[in-house]
Amino acid sequence: MTTRTLNIAMIGHGFMGRAHSNAFHQVGHFFDTPYTLKRKVICGRNQEAVRDMAARWGWDETANDWRAVVDRKDVDVVDIGTPNALHADIAIAAAKAGKIVWCEKPLAMNGAEAGEMVQAARQVPNLVWFNYRRVPAVALAKQVIDEGKIGQVYQYRAAYLQSWGVDPARKGVWRFNKSDAGSGAMGDLLTHIVDLALMLNGPLNEVSALVHTFAEGREVDDTAIFTGKFANGAIGTFEATRFAIGMKNRNRFEIHGAKGALAFNLEELNHLLYYDATLPAERQGWCDLMVTGPHHPFSDNYWPPGHIIGYEHTFTNTLADFLKTLANGSEFHANFEDGLRVQHVMDAVEKSSQTRSWVQL
């Protein structure tokens, strides 16, 4: 296969810098793609840390000022893994320079900012790293729903539960600063489960929310909970929290339809639970599908059935699908418009909590 080289500039080299670097390495090993990804330049503020990261993950060059790299002629893609407040400036500058833009979630600090990013990126291929869409079990859930197997959806229940916010020693991280993060559990966790809900069950029409901060003096929310009405008539309940002691990273949903139900939990990400309510009553029960093939999303790209995969593969899968759409000219999701839709829900959740009322979308 002839391949074209894409030179990547990655801004930010923390948790997501590692997850993305790994995907850049792995995608060509596991997927046939007409692109060779070159880890051209990695950018961060701490010179020594950036150099360490470049050596460990095989980046050619290091840089300290993102403005100096986004419009370099030898850069094709700008990948953004910085704190949320920087996403818009970097993405807009990169899009104006004609680069492909990959941006971490939440896309922006609010809907207005996300709208500007959508406008700026109209002419360039773009991606938001809503990586949980590409957990094979989640992709299978989408297939099952789209085939009508669970019928009309009545209840959509989602929660993203973490516990680290309780720890007073975690002061000082950018995630607690409003000016860096914009919000707390909302931008960090709620955006993920809202993106999955919009993908799996369609648009939300209105929300009623409670957003709360437990830690004294903290600028951002620790928990955000809302009830929503979907356009398809389903009722949704959503809970995102950094105060769920005992829960490390429990991103889960349960979807109940007229003909069946689905349940997923990221901490058991190779599994999807399926309940077929069309079976004779005496044979109905939860069926535990191990989503590692055969015939499961992404399963042909990895190991034989039963040989499980992990968190990092969700980024590789996302990238593989993006490169496929880049090659064949089709539309990739989640893109900036998907990120904007999520941001509109976040704005409505915030407004609903502030005004103690239902807010239309």
For the bound state, the minimum distance from the C-beta of residue 12 to ligand NAD, rounded and expressed in Å, comes to 3
Cβ closer to ligand NAD: 201 or 251?
A: 251
- Distance of alpha carbon 327 from alpha carbon 45, whole angstroms: 34
Tell which residue, 302, 324, 300, has the closest CA to residue 127.
Answer: 324
Q: Which residue, judged by CB position, is nearest to ligand NAD in the bound state?
A: 14
Taking only Cα atoms into account, the Rg of the chain, rounded to an integer number of angstroms, comes to 20
For the bound state, the minimum distance from the C-beta of residue 53 to ligand NAD, rounded and expressed in Å, comes to 8
Cβ closer to ligand NAD: 251 or 301?
A: 251
Cβ closer to ligand NAD: 18 or 96?
A: 18
For the bound state, the minimum distance from the C-beta of residue 286 to ligand NAD, rounded and expressed in Å, comes to 27
Please list, residue by residue across 317-356, b when 16 or more beta carbons sit within 10 angstroms of its beta carbon and e when fewer do. bbbbbbbbebeeeeebebbbbbbbbbbbbbbbbbebbeee
The CA-based dihedral angle spanning residues 222, 159, 183, 247, taken in that order and rounded to the nearest 10 degrees: 50
Cβ closer to ligand NAD: 61 or 206?
A: 61
For the bound state, the minimum distance from the C-beta of residue 17 to ligand NAD, rounded and expressed in Å, comes to 6
- Distance of alpha carbon 156 from alpha carbon 199, whole angstroms: 12
Beta strands 286-290 and 359-360 are unpaired
Helix, strand, coil percentages, rounded to 5, for the chain: 40, 25, 35
Residue 200 and residue 291 in contact, taking contact as beta carbons nearer than 8 Å: no
The binding site for ligand NAD (CB under 6 A) comprises 11-17, 43-45, 66, 81-84, 86, 104-105, 129, 131, 174, 188
For the bound state, the minimum distance from the C-beta of residue 167 to ligand NAD, rounded and expressed in Å, comes to 16
For the bound state, the minimum distance from the C-beta of residue 15 to ligand NAD, rounded and expressed in Å, comes to 3
Please list, residue by residue across 220-259, b when 16 or more beta carbons sit within 10 angstroms of its beta carbon and e when fewer do. bbbbbbbebbbeeebebebbbbbbbeebeebbbbbbbbee
Cβ closer to ligand NAD: 177 or 205?
A: 177
Say if residue 125 is preceded by a cis peptide, omega within 30 of 0: no
- Distance of alpha carbon 81 from alpha carbon 312, whole angstroms: 15
Cβ closer to ligand NAD: 84 or 317?
A: 84
For the bound state, the minimum distance from the C-beta of residue 14 to ligand NAD, rounded and expressed in Å, comes to 2
For the bound state, the minimum distance from the C-beta of residue 208 to ligand NAD, rounded and expressed in Å, comes to 25
- Block residue for tokens 């809202």: 194
Cβ closer to ligand NAD: 68 or 327?
A: 68
Cβ closer to ligand NAD: 198 or 359?
A: 198
